[in-house]
Amino acid sequence: MNINIAISQKPPVLLDLKASIKLAVKTIEEVAKQNTQLLVFPEAFLPGYPTWIWRLKPGGDMPLGNQLHTQLRNNAVNIAQGDLDPICEAAAKHHLIVVIGMHEIDATFSGSTLFNTVVVIDDNGVILNRHRKIMPTNPERMVWGFGDGSGLRVVDTPIGRIGCLICWENYMPLARYALYAQNIDIYIAPTWDSGDTWIASMNHIAREGGCWVLSTATALQGKDIPDSFPERDQLFQPEEWINPGDAVVVKPFGGVVAGPLHKEKGILFANLDLEAARESRKALDVAGHYNRPDIFHLEIDRREMPPVTFTDKTS
């Protein structure tokens, strides 16, 4: 089975959820014209990765950091409220599977905590899986809470079995193994990382897992930061490349077949042969014949971990 995929590394409108959703829908419409069956967006695309956290001075820029976080919280995705409906509707209209990263707000319990989330939306517009990043990296811990294991799932779609890990989660061997052990065809790694080392890691995962690997960050320059961004010119230079994007497609058992799309605010297209994944595991199947379950055993708790359970008196 051969499928057509697209990876968008176009920048969103930073800190503007409604405008970023409109851009996502426009991109869905654009790639649908190319007979695309799967579209991938970067980490935290809605409404943009908080790149400022790597530039603020610890402690010294706290007022600015608090101001930016408030804007981010006010533009985070509330899935239960239907914020993703325009994207789900576009996916269904164009019969397209969409994988998209976002800042998700915990509207159920705290009403304030944000999560770094990626969702898989099928070609009927149904959200098949929501994965919250289980370990934010370094200053990201001042932005996002810790997700639980409930999203460590590989889901069935009409174009194969899809699983996702976000950015440096892909350096967590047991998290990767959790996906390998679910008969994965397409492994998707939305990220903020880029460059040769990251691409080498994607090659390693493709070889280790015997799966197609799709990854991208957001291609972003200083001039893409909106004028409304507080103290923009103190943090960013207009012509600097904050992130080159580096969208890439790696075939099972390793080898780049498309990309990296470097310093281009565009879309990477590729064609995947799904059978190649299972063929590659004849030689190396780390969750099958190349495993020693008598020596190594992994247990994964995929229960949701709510912060509180309420028991109300019933009559």
Active site residues: 43, 133, 167
106, 114 Cβ separation under 8 angstroms: yes
Give CA–CA dist 208/274, Å, rounded: 16
Extract the runs of DSSP E, i.e. beta strands, from the chain. 2-8, 38-40, 97-105, 114-121, 127-132, 155-157, 160-164, 186-190, 212-216, 219-221, 241-250, 256-262, 267-273
* Region of residue 48 (left: phi > 0; alpha: psi -120 to 50; beta: else): left
- With tokens 């509180």, the residue in question is 308
Sign of CA dihedral 303, 44, 42, 263: negative
Cβ-based neighbour number of residue 119 at 10 Å: 23
Q: Pick from 126, 105, 129: which is nearest to 304 by CA?
A: 129
Name 213's Cβ contacts closer than 8 Å, sequence gap at least 6: 187, 188, 189, 202, 203, 205, 206, 248, 249, 250
From residue 279, give the alpha-carbon distance in Å to each of 45, 179, 205, 207, 256. 33, 18, 16, 12, 17
Q: Which of 276, 278, 284, 282 lies closest to 255 in space, CA to CA?
A: 276
Rg of the chain in Å (alpha carbons): 19
DSSP letter at 66?
H
